[in-house]
Chains A and B, each alone.
Chain A
Amino acid sequence: MARVTTVVDVTVIATESLSKRFPRVTALDRLSVDVGPGVTGLVGANGAGKSTLIKILLGLSPATEGQARVLGLDVATEGAAIRERVGYMPEHDCLPPDVSATEFVVHMARMSGLPPAAARERTADTLRHVGLYEERYRPIGGYSTGMKQRVKLAQALVHDPQLVFLDEPTNGLDPVGRDDMLALIRRIHTDFGISVLVTSHLLGELERTCDHVVVIDGGKLLRSSSTTDFTQTTTTLAVEVTDSDEHPDGTRAMREALTARGITVEHGGGLPGAGHVLLLTARGEETYDLVRDVVADLGLGLVRMEQRRHHISEVFQETGDQRKEAVGHGS
Chain B
Amino acid sequence: MAADHPVAVGDQTRIHDIGYRGYDGPRLGRAAIRRALYSQSLRGAYGLGRSAKSKVLPMLLFAVMCLPAGIMVAVAVATKANDLPVDYTRYAILMQAVISLYVASQAPQSVSRDLRFKTVPLYFSRPMESADYVRAKYAALASAMFLLTATPLLVLYLGALLAKLDFADQTKGFAQGLVSVALLSLLFAGLGLVLAAVTPRRGFGIAAVIAVLTITYGAVSTLQAIAFEQDTTDAIGWIGLFSPITLIEGVQSAFLGADSTFPGGIGPSDGQGAVYVLVALGLIAGCYGLLMRRYKKVGL
Binding site for B on A (CB under 8 A): 1-3, 51, 54-55, 58, 60-61, 80-81, 83-84, 86-88, 90, 92-99, 103, 107-108, 110-115, 118, 122, 125, 129, 139, 155, 159-160, 191-193
Contacts and interface: CB of A to CB of B under 8 A. Distances in A.
Interface of B: 1, 19-23, 25-30, 32-33, 36-37, 40, 49-51, 54, 113, 117-119, 121-129, 299-300
A114 B27 contact: yes
Contacts of B22: 2-3, 160, 193
Contacts of A92: 118
A89 to B, nearest CB: 9
B27 A159 contact: yes
Nearest to B19: A191
A100 B291 CA distance: 29
Contacts of A159: 23, 27
14 contacts: A3-B22, A54-B300, A88-B121, A90-B118, A90-B300, A98-B54, A110-B36, A111-B36, A111-B37, A112-B33, A113-B27, A139-B51, A160-B23, A192-B20
A111 B1 contact: no
A112 B126 contact: yes
B117 A2 contact: no
B122 A108 contact: yes
Contacts of B25: 114-115, 118
Nearest to B123: A111
**Complex A-B, nearest 6 residue pairs according to Cβ-Cβ distance, in ascending order:** A160-B23, A88-B125, A113-B28, A110-B36, A113-B27, A192-B20
B117 A61 contact: no
Contacts of B32: 113
Contacts of B51: 98, 139
A60 B124 contact: yes
B1 A2 contact: yes
Given A2-B1, A80-B30, A92-B118, A118 B23 contact: yes
B71 to A, nearest CB: 36
B20 A193 contact: yes
B125 A60 contact: yes
Contacts of B27: 84, 112-114, 159
A329 to B, nearest CB: 29
A80 B129 contact: yes
